Amino acid sequence: MRQHEQVPHIALVTLVVSDYDEAIAFYVDALGFELREDMALDAGKRWVVVAPPGAPETGILLAQAADDAQAARVGDQTGGRVALFLNTDDFSRDYERMRAAGVRFNEEPRTEAYGTVVVFFDLYGNQWDLIEPRT
C-alpha cells in the first residue's frame, strides 16, 4: 500500500441530539473529546464532529433532531442496548474524571474476560461502555 493511500474505515457515526451546544459541552467537557469541526450549514443546521483525542479516523457527528420522528429517537437510538464503546488505556483515570464531571453510570466497574468495563449514559441517555481492554 502506498504511504498516503486510505483503507476503508468507519469515519463518522451519527448521534441525534436535542441541541448542538449542550451536546458539544457534554462530549468535550465531561468525556474529554475534542471538537474537530463545527460548521454552519443551510436551514440552521451545523456539521459538528467530536472525537476522543488521538483518534484520527473515527468521530461522532452530532446531528440536531430536525423533526418529531428524529426527536423521538434522541437518547434511545439502539433500543436500550449499549450504543458505543469507548476504549481507554487508563480505566481509573478516565472513570474518575468522568465521575467528577457528573457522568451517570449504570453500574460499578467490573472485570470481564475482555477487560475492565463500566456502562455509562451520555447526556441524552444513550448507553456507552468505557473499556480498558485486556492486553
Q: What residue ranges do the domains of the chain occupy?
A: 12-133
Residue 18's region, left for phi above 0, alpha for psi from -120 to 50, else beta, is alpha
How does 6-44 read in b/e, with b if 16+ C-beta sit within 10 Å?
A: eeeeeeeeebbbeebeebbebbeebbbbeeeeeeeeeee
Per-residue pLDDT tens digits for 39-72? 999 988 999 999 999 888 899 999 999 999 999 9
Percent of the chain with pLDDT over 70: 96
CATH architecture of 12-133: Roll (3.10)
Per-residue pLDDT tens digits for 16-38? 999 999 999 999 999 999 999 99
Query: Does 1 have pLDDT greater than 60?
Result: no
Query: Does 2 have pLDDT greater than 70?
Result: no
- At 4, the pLDDT band (50, 70, 90 cuts) reads low
